[in-house]
Amino acid sequence: MKQSDKYAEILKKGDLRATKQRYAILEVLDCNGAPVSAEDLYIQLKRKGIPISLSTVYRILDAFQEKGIVVRSNFPDVSKAVYELFCEEHHHHLLCVDCRRVFPVEGCPLEDYERLIEERLNFTVKGHNLEVYGHCKDCKKKT
Amino acid sequence: MKQSDKYAEILKKGDLRATKQRYAILEVLDCNGAPVSAEDLYIQLKRKGIPISLSTVYRILDAFQEKGIVVRSNFPDVSKAVYELFCEEHHHHLLCVDCRRVFPVEGCPLEDYERLIEERLNFTVKGHNLEVYGHCKDCKKKT
DNA sequence: TTCTTAATGAGAATGATTCGCATTTGCATT
DNA sequence: AATGCAAATGCGAATCATTCTCATTAAGAA
């Protein structure tokens, strides 16, 4: 199966029309790995020669997030939201406070904690947000 | 010791002048328990008859955060930042997606996880952000 | 009481995001 | 392939949270 077929399927499943702009956003997110801001995405798309406007980037990301195609996050002390493709394997992020890069970490330590919350506080847990921040191995060296 | 003495001490320790506005913000945060946005804080202060402007609220919260007196957080899908008094006991928050209330939970399940990250990924952990969201016990009933 | 400097108020400026509306484009149906 | 219509896009204006500027006020040391 070609990449473009994969994207077409994602869009069809989400009941979204297949447009050049949507394909291009899926492709960039797919290649990018780490979360990107709407503006970065816009710049990358322009650089690739894709005709698109910033508001369309926002609109597409919104639609994607509604359909569960992407996940939006807000990192502390960063004023813009970032987006990445939804990933089956639940994972979290390490943020380097020096170089501002984002590293994925697979796995999640919260199952027991959430069970405890459900039992002790009678709260139905639907999800969580977790980011860990600090100094990545490259930035550690430099100091 | 009176409450106002407590606030005076906090300000002195932070090397900040004691002003009516700063006392008032400390008092509201102290009574409020849960995190509040700058605007909510401003509204509450006005309601109490405190003369203050919104920019001052932001400035004071900024200064407080710099001194470690308050903690600022960004909850997902909420565009404004929220602030609460720094609390010695490390804790996290439960967000009810229905009533939007915030509940504190003491304790933290991340020690082992962070140790693992430090070892496996050679990343120096400085802190983390964790919020759990779902339906609180009151909203659960209503449905 | 005076002086210096930090803090405040009011509103303008900024930056991220959303909205409104005219135009274009997928795509289901002839 | 041509048609029609709803969905998607582009552009700029609008909005929202937050920060900045600068003139005025008030803490607190001397």
* pLDDT at site A2: 63
Cα–Cα distance, A104 to B110 (Å, whole number): 16
Alpha-carbon gap, residue B103 to B110, rounded angstroms: 19
Pair A116, A127: CB distance under 8 Å: no
A132·B125 Cβ contact <8 A = yes
Mutant choice from A128, A141, A142 vs B, greatest count of B C-beta within 10 A: A128
Residues of chain B neighbouring A129 (CB-CB closer than 8 A)? 76, 129-131, 133
Average pLDDT in the A83-101 region? 91
CA of B109 to C1' of C22 (A): 54
Tens of pLDDT along B38-86?
Answer: 999 999 999 999 999 999 999 999 999 999 999 998 887 788 999 999 9
Does residue A71 sit in helix, strand or coil? strand
Listed residue (A101, A99, A115) closest to A35, CA to CA = A101
Residues of chain B with CATH 1.10.10.10: 1-86
For residue A35, give every residue at least 6 positions away whose Cβ sits within 8 Å of its Cβ, in sequence order, or none.
A73, A82, A83, A84, A93, A102
The nucleotide closest to A80 (CA, C1' atoms): C16
CA A18 to C1' D10 (Å) is 18
CATH 1.10.10.10 residue ranges for chain A: 1-87
Residues B109, A110: C-beta atoms closer than 8 Å = yes
Q: What ipTM was assigned to the predicted interfaces of this complex?
A: 0.87
**CB contact set of A63 (below 8 Å; sequence gap of 6+):** A14, A16
Are residues A129 and B128, on separate chains, in Cβ contact within 8 Å? no
CATH superfamily of the A90-143 domain:
Ferric-uptake regulator, C-terminal dimerisarion domain (3.30.1490.190)
For chain B, which residues lie within 8 Å of any Cβ of chain A, measuring from their own Cβ? Answer: 72-76, 94, 96-97, 103, 105, 109-110, 112-114, 117, 121-137, 140
User: Using one digit for the tens of pLDDT, what is the confidence trace for B85-135?
Assistant: 999 899 999 999 888 888 999 989 999 999 999 999 999 999 999 999 999
Per-residue pLDDT, A33:
82
Picking from B124, B129, B135, the nearest residue to A129 by CB comes out as: B129
Residue B31 has pLDDT above 60, yes or no: yes
- Give residue A1's pLDDT: 52
Is domain B1-86 annotated with CATH 3.30.300.30? no
Give the CATH fold of the B89-143 domain: Dna Ligase; domain 1 (3.30.1490)
CATH placement of domain A1-87: 1.10.10.10
Nearest alpha carbon to residue A85 among A100, A97, A99, A73: A73
